[in-house]
Homo-oligomer: A and B are copies of this chain.
Amino acid sequence: MNIKDFGGEFALINLIKRGIKLDKDVVLGIGDDCAVLKFDKKNYLLFTTDTIVDGDHFSLEWWKPEQIGMKAVEINSSDIYSMGGIPKHIIVALTLPDETSVEFVRDLYRGINKSCKKHKINLVGGNITHGKQLNIGIGLIGTVEKKRLCLRSCAKAGELICVTGYLGGGRAGLQLFLNRKEGKSKSHHLLPKANPGGRIISQYSRCMIDVSDGLASEVKHICEESNVGAVVYKEQIPIKKEVFSDAKKLGKDAYDFALHGGEDFQLVFTINENKINELRKRIKFSIVGEILPKKKGIFLIDKGKKYSLGSGYDHFKTRIKEKK
């Protein structure tokens, strides 16, 4: 059976999870942004991996090697911040096609080092091999204080759903490139940024996830893992003016980009209402919905009407090849 018909990326992950046995050093295995492992009295170790591939996660047509290197580090750091942690040590597994130049590799690593420096990450190792397609795999270790660990599974009914920054820019930018149009959103696509604000949020929230596949998908992950329902208020989703105007140029809906586009790498978290004012003093965020009891379901409210929340980006179900 092909993967798409089987149910895509997430059905495959469920298949892989089955029958895995873990020893007592593992606090949490497959199923969140990072694995959580025992470390010392006060801290857990976080362990994550994310790969970017030419044609799927970037295009050599539009991307400079330095930007590709930065993206590889930023998206992995984002997974650590979304667990409330601090990224620490990175390894890079490079697969390079024959035609790759030394200058390309040098500039790629300039980007990797730039993002490592920004997030105070040590580049400690890696592996270089040959293949048909440029493929950059990252392994990242971080740490998190036990009491500040944030999981997808810790949302509680009654908590508010919040999101940092703005959404939709990542996908709007990609669509501009694919459709050969101009617009400010292009920079959101080329320069995704991990949000260290996760370190502040982890002092107030126990449930967090980063927006890699779109807000709808992330809220659904939280609901599934926390065994709760949720409502998202469409008009409260934070979207920049430039994303609205770029979406218009493309004949698309900016809210679709925010809900189902992905690659914004902002943080979605749930929080008790009485902590909102305190957190507001420290970082900027928007309230976009509320966690509900499971029986209420998961839905979107748009101008007072109830809609299904829809899904996010799936590498095996959604393929971006419009007008390319």
A residues with a Cβ closer than 8 A to B are 1-3, 6, 9, 12-13, 15-16, 19-23, 25-26, 29-30, 34-35, 37, 39-40, 45, 47-53, 55-57, 88-89, 91-93, 95-96, 98-103, 105-106, 109, 113, 117, 120, 122-133, 135, 137, 139, 141, 315-316, 319
Contact = CB atoms under 8 A, between A and B. Distances in A.
A102 B2 contact: yes
Nearest to A120: B23
A124 B35 contact: yes
A315 B122 contact: no
A48 B92 CA distance: 9
Given A123-B29, A315-B129, A19 B88 contact: no
Contacts of A316: 96, 130
A122 B9 contact: no
A63 B179 CA distance: 41
Contact of A35 (B19, B30, B89): B89
A131 to B, nearest CB: 4
Contacts of A6: 102
A123 B15 contact: no
A30 B105 contact: no
Given A20-B123, A102-B15, A125-B29, A130 B49 contact: no
B50 A93 contact: yes
Nearest to A7: B102
Contacts of A55: 131-132
Given A16-B105, A25-B89, A56-B131, 15 more contacts: A15-B102, A15-B105, A29-B122, A30-B126, A37-B89, A37-B124, A47-B89, A47-B125, A48-B91, A49-B127, A52-B129, A53-B129, A55-B131, A95-B135, A96-B316
8 contacts: A15-B102, A19-B113, A37-B89, A45-B141, A47-B141, A91-B139, A132-B132, A135-B135
Nearest to A33: B125
A51 B95 contact: yes
B29 A106 contact: no
A124 B26 contact: yes
Contact of A137 (B51, B103, B132, B133): B51
Contact of A53 (B2, B130, B139): B130
A108 to B, nearest CB: 9
A273 to B, nearest CB: 33
A135 B106 CA distance: 23
Contacts of A117: 21
B127 A50 contact: yes
Contacts of A50: 93, 127
A96 B3 contact: yes
A51 B93 CA distance: 7
A25 B122 contact: yes
Counting chain B CB atoms within 10 Å of each CB, the highest count among A1, A127, A319 belongs to A127
Contacts of A141: 37, 45, 47, 141
